[in-house]
Amino acid sequence: MNTPELTQSTWRKSNHSGGHEGNCIEVADLNGHIGIRDSKSPHTGHLALSRQDFATLLTRLTPKP
């Protein structure tokens, strides 16, 4: 996969990450893919998903009534 340099990517913390619990993730647009990484340890790497796979992940993680 051809992704931009991580220094060029704008990582942002998820609105759904825990406040002070330390359970935080960051997401970034990586040249048509979505990057996901641990905000406490960004140097350990990231997971890159296609936009469709990221949407599927969010759908599966959303609580059902």
- The DSSP secondary-structure symbol of 64 reads P
Within a domain: 50 = yes
Within a domain: 13 = yes
Within a domain: 1 = no
| pLDDT, tens only, 3-37 | 444 557 899 987 766 666 667 889 999 988 999 99
Do 35 and 27 touch, CB atoms closer than 8 A?
A: yes
Residue 51's domain spans which residues?
A: 6-61
Within a domain: 53 = yes
Within a domain: 37 = yes
Top-confidence residue, 4 or 40:
40
How many structural domains is the chain composed of?
1
Angstrom distance (rounded) from CA 21 to CA 17: 9
Q: Where are the alpha helices (DSSP H) in the chain?
A: 51-61
Within a domain: 11 = yes
Tell me, what amino acid is at 12? R
**Mean pLDDT value across residues 27-50:** 91
- pLDDT, residue 1, reads 46
Within a domain: 19 = yes
